[in-house]
Structure 1
Amino acid sequence: MASGFAQWGNDLYTGRRSYDIVGLRRRWYLIAVALVLASAALLLVKGLNPGIEFRGGSQFTVSGASTLEQQPAIDAVGSVAADEEARVSTVGASAIRVQTATLTNDEVEQVRGALAGAYDVPVGEVTSSFIGPTWGADVSSKAVTGLVVFLALVSVVMTIYFRNWRMAAAALLALFHDLVITVGIYALVGWEVTPATVIGFLTILGYSMYDTVVVFDKVRENTAGVLDQSRTTYGEQANLAVNQTLVRSINTSVVALLPVSAILFVGAFILGAGTLRDIALALFVGMLVGTFSSVFLATPLEVTLREREPKVVAHTKKVLSLRGGPATTQSGATPAMAAGTTGYATQLLPGQHLGTAAQPKRRKSGRK
């Protein structure tokens, strides 16, 4: 099985086997738009569930509780402050966490006593803390600032590194796709958004960007000098780059998702630790969606932008005409290009593979 997977990877790298990822880009665009719209609808309808760190309030932790039922905690808070809504969750195997709105000092002491009686523990086993909303607002402000600075730096660095603003634009669109879907899943699940969640959101942007840069680096390598030859088009060479990095993307994602999955399962179902599950869910969804965008969105978007350049359009028209390809439209693009289905995985000459198709011929030296 391992040898078969290795052979599959070798075939993808040399071009003997190829998947028409770039040519079928309209399909991936429709899937991505549908997921983004669904996530946006979830955010509008359900919204996020901000944790106490963002909304402020009082928090109580009952250690060594005789039961993990939530109703006793709700009744205990209601006996002191009837108008307050209590958020109750379990922490580990024998602890209860209760969150309420801001309470006075007297109400805090009364709730501690009521919780101790409800769970049959000494009052000393019930700890309390207060978190002001100002701290949460400060965290939110810094998170937004960090996101804006990150995206600005990504745009500048990628434009300078690749000498191509189109790659930077495609990468930013892919990042937007990853972030919106991850936040939408979080709204669907309904877990509280904590500082750990925000850290997870920012982390997945870096992971997705890393994977995208690797693919773009291969795209740049494959398309260097592509306009100086007439065997393959820009889109075909970009599609080859995606295929050549496909195995690497899969392996990297699987290796990264395995420990995150373990943390998510342990944090959510065994330890009941909110911090673990909060960041693990964001990382799990973000890495999964980031892999999709790196393979099926980033490069197709970049090709779509590049194929609007007159010189690329003219070159594609020339290559297809030499092959006896379809007639071009008035804009210079073939009908298949306009539909986004140029068949980039199959445009090969007899005895040729894409790994060498774009290499221009070199003049022979006169030296012996």
Structure 2
Amino acid sequence: MNSNPNQKPRFDFVQSRKAFFMLSGVITILGVLTLAIFGLNYGVDFKSGTTLDVAFVEAADVKKSDLEPILENHKTTISIGEERVNIRFEKVLEEEQRLRILQTFEEQYGEISVEESTVDAGMAKELGVKAISVVLIASLFIIIYVSIRFEWRFALAAIVALFHDAFIVISLFSILRFEVNLTFIAAVLTIIGYSINDTIVIFDRIRENLRTAKIKSFDDLATLVNTSIWQTLARSINTALTVIIAALFLFLFGSPSIQLFSLAMLIGLISGGYSSIFIASQIWLLLKKSSIGKKKTVSTS
């Protein structure tokens, strides 16, 4: 790819920015509506209840209708795999109830192994508050870092793209009614890290090209942004594909406990690659537009 920042690249990302903004706007509106109507399907980590993950030593043909007598009319969400059953109870089971249910499982399906997690109402609320705080604190430090390392326009564009990626993952989990738990929060934080890293690579190239470019008009600035994206495009695509392939195989062949984590990663990685190229740099361009013609100051850090 040509490294000359003044040569017009093959595809004009800037000229197509309105289409990208419109696409992201539609996704955001749909996400807001979905969250307002359906909310999130919180796992046991964020609301009180008990989760039993029952694994069978010998293969068992389990049907939901067969489990109704075992679960004693408790309100549950059931996921059935080839060798295990995951049951989420909407209230905390008493010890006597838990033992009776597991004993019935053993009588009907033979030897089992069980993983149990229980969260009371107070702990669920505390975990929810802490999860939101972690995401906000991470975002705040990212804004501070990018502002110091680059400038405030880069920081604002990066944080918009970052929230764009996180919101798309959250919206799709709401639409598909997938469970939101602490593993999901870990996936969102991982996505934030990946997204900001990919965005900074493009921003760093824009800053380098700004040092030598003569920007006299918006077209000059747009050409510089386009060229900077092209110069880093192969790196962005290769990095995204490498991680996406790994996340895909984890989703297809991993255990049920990490499949939702892998799915969140897949959605976030695709969104992160898209926003770094099509959203973040375009937002910076619009913010920088007003400074054209003024004295240019470029960070040398």
TM bracket, shorter-chain basis: 0.7 to 0.9
TM-score (norm 1): 0.72
1:116 is matched with: 106
Distance across 2 between alignment mates of 1:61 and 1:228: 61
Q: 1:30 to 1:305 in 2, by over 3 A?
A: same
Q: Is residue 2:276 matched to residue 1:294?
A: yes
Partner SS, residue 293 of structure 2: helix
Distance across 2 between alignment mates of 1:209 and 1:24: 22
- Specify the code of the residue in structure 2 equivalent to 1:72: D
2:39 is matched with: 47
Alignment check: 8 A CA contact 2:217 2:293 kept: no
- Once the two structures are TM-superposed, the CA of residue 293 in structure 1 deviates from its matched residue by 0.4
Distance across 2 between alignment mates of 1:261 and 1:194: 20
1:206 is matched with: 193
- Once the two structures are TM-superposed, the CA of residue 11 in structure 1 deviates from its matched residue by 4.9
Q: What aligned pairs does 1:264-303 form with structure 2 within 5 A after superposition?
A: 264-267=251-254, 271=255, 273=256, 275-303=257-285
Alignment check: 8 A CA contact 2:9 2:226 kept: no
Distance across 1 between alignment mates of 2:275 and 2:268: 10
Unaligned runs of 5+ in 1: 1-9, 316-368
Distance across 2 between alignment mates of 1:46 and 1:231: 43
TM-score (norm 2): 0.87
- Once the two structures are TM-superposed, the CA of residue 110 in structure 1 deviates from its matched residue by 2.8
Q: Is residue 2:114 matched to residue 1:132?
A: no
Partner SS, residue 51 of structure 2: strand
- Once the two structures are TM-superposed, the CA of residue 283 in structure 1 deviates from its matched residue by 0.7
2:229 is matched with: 242
Q: What aligned pairs does 1:165-204 form with structure 2 within 5 A after superposition?
A: 165-204=152-191
- Once the two structures are TM-superposed, the CA of residue 125 in structure 1 deviates from its matched residue by 5.2
Distance across 2 between alignment mates of 1:59 and 1:172: 36
Q: 1:169 to 1:105 in 2, by over 3 A?
A: same
- Once the two structures are TM-superposed, the CA of residue 232 in structure 1 deviates from its matched residue by 6.7
Distance across 2 between alignment mates of 1:262 and 1:245: 26
Q: Is residue 2:76 matched to residue 1:86?
A: yes
2:242 is matched with: 255
- Once the two structures are TM-superposed, the CA of residue 178 in structure 1 deviates from its matched residue by 0.5
- Once the two structures are TM-superposed, the CA of residue 16 in structure 1 deviates from its matched residue by 7.0
Q: Is residue 2:93 matched to residue 1:106?
A: no
Picking from 57, 60, 74, the partner of 1:66 is 60
Distance across 2 between alignment mates of 1:293 and 1:35: 13
- Once the two structures are TM-superposed, the CA of residue 201 in structure 1 deviates from its matched residue by 0.6
String of CA shifts for 1:242-282, please: whole Å, max 9, x gaps. 11111111111111111111001113xxx4x1x21121011
- Specify the code of the residue in structure 2 equivalent to 1:96: V
Distance across 1 between alignment mates of 2:217 and 2:185: 49
Distance across 1 between alignment mates of 2:224 and 2:117: 59
Picking from 111, 135, 139, the partner of 1:147 is 135
Distance across 1 between alignment mates of 2:195 and 2:30: 21
4+ residue runs over 4 A deviation: 11-17, 124-129, 227-232
Q: 1:125 to 1:168 in 2, by over 3 A?
A: closer
Distance across 1 between alignment mates of 2:67 and 2:3: 59
- Once the two structures are TM-superposed, the CA of residue 63 in structure 1 deviates from its matched residue by 3.3
1:330 is matched with: none
Partner SS, residue 92 of structure 2: coil
* Identity value in percent: 23
Picking from 266, 290, 293, the partner of 1:308 is 290
String of CA shifts for 1:97-149, please: whole Å, max 9, x gaps. 222122333322332333334x3325x75675533233333332222222121
- Once the two structures are TM-superposed, the CA of residue 204 in structure 1 deviates from its matched residue by 0.2
Name which of structure 1's ranges 194-203 and 42-51 shifts more when overlaid on structure 2: 42-51
- Once the two structures are TM-superposed, the CA of residue 40 in structure 1 deviates from its matched residue by 1.8
Distance across 1 between alignment mates of 2:37 and 2:210: 45
Q: 1:166 to 1:132 in 2, by over 3 A?
A: same
Q: CA RMSD in A?
A: 2.6
Q: 1:98 to 1:217 in 2, by over 3 A?
A: same
- Once the two structures are TM-superposed, the CA of residue 160 in structure 1 deviates from its matched residue by 1.0
Alignment check: 8 A CA contact 1:201 1:283 kept: yes
